[in-house]
């Protein structure tokens, strides 16, 4: 880890830790999550996690599954809320985020099935806005999100809050950016098969979490990550709103850190 330069602290507006590999960083995040779950479990209290999908958090989920199997980490009192879901996809669709979560985490730990919630992409259009309000209400009734895990899209999105999303946006139906759809094209065997809309938690919903981890791996994320961390806050780059959060933490590998000023102008 190398996050101690005074210059870096001046330019980086979110505390940023650089790790040699995504695996190392993922293990750190999984351990932090596990520590919170263990101390809550010991008090008889539940832990509420906000979860992301995509390639970024898979190492964290793999490590959490390992901690469950090898160190008896129990998810029996954990509740999870996922950030987003493609609109029109149900949990039986292999590219749905519900199916993704089942494959990567829920089927591997002892979380009760009704405690692991992913937005429902099959809600009829006329019921979406009431559904989104009920999603927000469920998070509040669970006590709010203790730890939110985030990736970043090349548009600067967090969740599916594309450029133009406001600081106070809440869970809602959104249209995906062309770049986001292009990035998902491979998973759907062609851009024309990528759903155009999604249900996503809002920027405001994300900022309400008590602790946030934003993760980014690899060269394709380097430019947008540097802007999110170093440029001024703007709706044009929704991840930059994390600069307003008092416990947001960025963890990156060396490749994703390459465009940070401390690397470009050491």
Q: Residues in the site for ligand F6R, rule: CB under 6 A? A: 52-56, 83-84, 97, 151-153, 157-160
Q: Which CB sits closer to ligand F6R, 187 or 231?
A: 187
For 103, the token pair is 């494959």
Q: Which CB sits closer to ligand F6R, 8 or 80?
A: 80
CB 220 to ligand F6R: min, Å: 8
For 207, the token pair is 């900022």
Which neighbouring-strand residues pair with 208? none
CB 55 to ligand F6R: min, Å: 4
Q: Which CB sits closer to ligand F6R, 75 or 213?
A: 213
**Nearest Cα to 136, choosing from 166, 169, 163, 106?**
169
CB 41 to ligand F6R: min, Å: 26
How much helix, strand and coil, in percent to the nearest 5, is found in the chain?
Answer: 40, 20, 40
Q: Which CB sits closer to ligand F6R, 198 or 260?
A: 198
CB 256 to ligand F6R: min, Å: 10
85 is annotated as an active-site residue: no
User: What angle in degrees, to the nearest 10, is found between the helix axes of 58-71 and 97-104?
Assistant: 40
Distance CA 106, CA 117 (A): 10
Residues 6+ apart with CB under 8 A from 170: 132, 136, 201, 202, 204, 205
The catalytic residue among 162, 192, 230, 235 is 162
Distance CA 205, CA 48 (A): 14
What is the set of active-site residues?
162
């Amino acid at each position: 880890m190398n996050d101690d330069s005074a210059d870096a602290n001046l330019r980086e507006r979110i505390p940023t830790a650089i790790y040699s590999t995504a695996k190392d960083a993922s293990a750190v995040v999984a351990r932090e999550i596990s520590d919170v779950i263990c101390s809550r479990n010991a008090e008889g209290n539940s832990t509420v996690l906000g979860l992301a999908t995509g390639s970024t958090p898979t190492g964290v989920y793999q490590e959490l599954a390992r901690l469950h199997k090898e160190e008896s980490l129990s998810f029996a009192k954990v509740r999870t809320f996922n950030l987003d879901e493609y609109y029109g996809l149900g949990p039986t669709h292999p590219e749905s985020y519900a199916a993704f979560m089942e494959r990567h985490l829920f089927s591997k730990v002892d979380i009760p099935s009704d405690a692991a919630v992913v937005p429902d992409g099959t809600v009829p259009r006329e019921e979406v806005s009431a559904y989104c309000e009920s999603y927000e209400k469920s998070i509040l009734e669970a006590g709010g999100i203790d730890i939110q895990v985030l990736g970043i899209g090349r548009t600067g999105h967090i969740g599916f809050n594309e450029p133009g999303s406001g600081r106070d946006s809440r869970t809602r139906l959104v249209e995906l950016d062309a770049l986001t759809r292009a990035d998902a094209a491979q998973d759907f065997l062609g851009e024309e098969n990528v759903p155009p809309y999604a249900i996503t938690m809002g920027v405001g919903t994300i900022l309400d979490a008590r602790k946030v981890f934003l993760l980014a791996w690899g060269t394709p994320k380097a430019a947008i990550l540097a802007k999110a961390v170093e440029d001024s806050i703007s709706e044009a780059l929704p991840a930059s709103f994390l600069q307003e959060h008092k416990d947001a933490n960025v963890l990156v590998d060396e490749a994703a850190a390459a465009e940070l000023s401390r690397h470009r102008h050491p």
